[in-house]
Structure 1
Amino acid sequence: MIRANTRGRLTAADLQLVILLLSSGSAQRRAYLERRLTTEGPDPLLDAPELVERLLTVRSMLLPSEALFFYVLVRHALRNSGLDDRDLADYLAALLLEFGQRDRAWRIDWNDDQQHRYLVDILADLEATGGERRFKVMVHLGNYALWLTGLFPDYIAARRLRKAGPDVSYYDALGSRGFGMASDHALAAQYGLDLVLRTAADRFSSLRSALNGMSDRVFFPSSTH
């Protein structure tokens, strides 16, 4: 089950890299950032506007961990779209990290035997299952729709042209529906995801647009959609 826990995976080495990048070689600024980390925690440093660009252009032996890289990218993409919600950024960064591994994006959970490449298959699974797995299918409906439309909008557009596939509004509607149903499920609160899932449902199209911008800038910079 994907949780909003990416910041919790950050290590002392990650935070030292953040300080190194933000201090730009100034011992005085480094000392200031160290004090701020001690007194305020990592969030103000992770929110520094210049951090994204410095992570993208880092030229040192210290490379950012995947958790640091994705959290900062997602957090700043959301903030630039008016979504100032650290827990939501935590969750979406964890989603991108997990869905980027092997065939995880096509599975309800790592240990699930079924693979779904289309939303209609996830909907069919939703109707056929119950219990905790039904909750996970609801979440996966939202996760998969957001992952596809957020990172791969050109795939959606090309499929629509070649095979008369559905447009983005179809994915927005079903993704929002999945997150909304999941947020109302009793297990959402047990997993500490009720508020995150509700926000994702209510702001699905805004999240998708924010991830589109991030994808264009970082993963597919030559995209012209």
Structure 2
Amino acid sequence: MFRPQVRASFGRREAEALVALAGPGGEDRLRDEGLDALLDDPQVFRAFLRRPTLSLVPAPLAFYLFVRHAFLARQIRARELADYVAAVLLEFGSLGRARDPDAEALWQLGRTARGVYLVDVALALPEADGERAFWLSVHLGNLALWVAGLFPDYVTARVRRRGAPGLPYFDSLGAAGFRSAAAMAWAERHGLQGVLATAAERFPELRAALNDLSDEVFFPRPSDAVERLLRQVEDAFRRAN
């Protein structure tokens, strides 16, 4: 079952990695200021990015640092949002759930398909009820955030070459999925009502922060720099108006 508890899972290994990244005095800071002081420290994040291989940092910690600092750069300070989105990226990135979600997300939709599209999930929702409808709605939001957040160049290229839906489409469907899930009783039962409601309200901001992460860290060398710049300018203008 999908659980946005990345930060709560941190133990000795993650603490030792943070202390090493913090450098001299890191152990004292951890003891005196707590884990969040190191997690939120820009210098710790810069040290993390400078490491010759990110594989030396536990994957949950790496994803949390990526998301937390992308969000902080856009003044998104709620830790529960960073925790939730880090869990989404960790889940989809490590288990391939974006392409082949399991029964917890799609239940009996019956797709082991190579591509699961937002429309597949949206079309399954009217036939769903109870907890199945809840997890389908959650998956709709998660999938929209994963695709539009980390692969905006891919989305934009499909718009220009094939007339496919653009980022506003992903924003709309993703927010609708989270909003629908937050309104269900299952959201409260799973302790997700608050974070899902906030994710729905702030979906374009969350997606834009992940775009920053994608552009600056994951894929810093675009195949078409002009197209990326146009996408960034168009998206900033659209969200400001």
Does TM, scored on the shorter chain, surpass 0.5? yes
Is 1:104 equivalent to 2:103 in the alignment?
Answer: no
The Cα of 1:61 is off from its aligned counterpart by 11
CA distance in 1, matches of 2:170, 2:208: 13
Contact 1:142/1:176 (8 A) holds in 2: yes
Of 71, 80, 87, the match for 2:64: 71
1:48 matched to which residue of 2? 41
Q: 1:182-221 maps to which residues of 2 (within 5 A)?
A: 182-221=181-220
**2:28 pairs with 31, 35, 59, which one?**
35
SS at match of 2:220: coil
Distance of 1:182 and 1:4 partners within structure 2: 15
Q: Match of 1:10?
A: 10
Q: Is the 8 A contact 1:135 1:185 kept in 2?
A: yes
Q: CA deviation at 1:36?
A: 3.4
Superposition deviation, residue 109 in structure 1 = 3.3
> Structure 1 residues 21, 103: CA separation in 2 closer, same or farther (over 3 Å shift)?
closer
Q: Please give the alpha-carbon distance, in whole angstroms, between the structure 1 residues aligned to 2:210 and 2:20.
A: 27
SS of 1:199's partner is helix
Distance, in Å, in 1 between the alignment partners of 2:50 and 2:164 is 38
**CA–CA separation in structure 2 for the residues paired with 1:141 and 1:181:** 10
State the Cα distance separating 1:37 from its structure 2 match: 2.2
In structure 2, the residue matched to 1:150 is 149
1:57-96 alpha-carbon deviations (Å, 9 max, x no partner)? 1258981010111101100111111110111111111100
RMSD of aligned Cα (Å): 2.0
Tell me the distance in 1 between the aligned counterparts of 2:12 and 2:80: 20
Contact 1:104-1:110 at 8 Å conserved across structures: no
Amino acid at match of 1:15: A
Q: What amino acid is aligned across from residue 29 of structure 2 in structure 1?
A: R
Letter of the 2:22 counterpart: L
Question: What TM-score, normalized by structure 2, do the two folds share?
Answer: 0.84
Corresponding position of 1:167: 166
User: Counterpart in 1 of 2:231?
Assistant: none
Contact 1:108-1:137 within 8 A present in 2 as well: no
Question: How far 1:2 moved relative to its partner?
Answer: 2.2
> Which residue identity does 1:47 align to in structure 2?
D
The runs of 5 or more residues in structure 2 that have no matched partner are 229-241
Greater RCO, CA 8 A, separation 6+: 1
For 1:20, the equivalent position in structure 2 comes to 20
Q: Which has the higher helix share?
A: 2
- TM-score in terms of structure 1 length: 0.90
How many percent of aligned residue pairs carry the same amino acid?
43
Provide the secondary structure at the position in 1 that maps to 2:196. Answer: helix
Call closer, same or farther: CA 1:59–1:152 in 2, change over 3 Å. closer
Aligned counterpart, 2:138: 139
Count of residue correspondences: 218
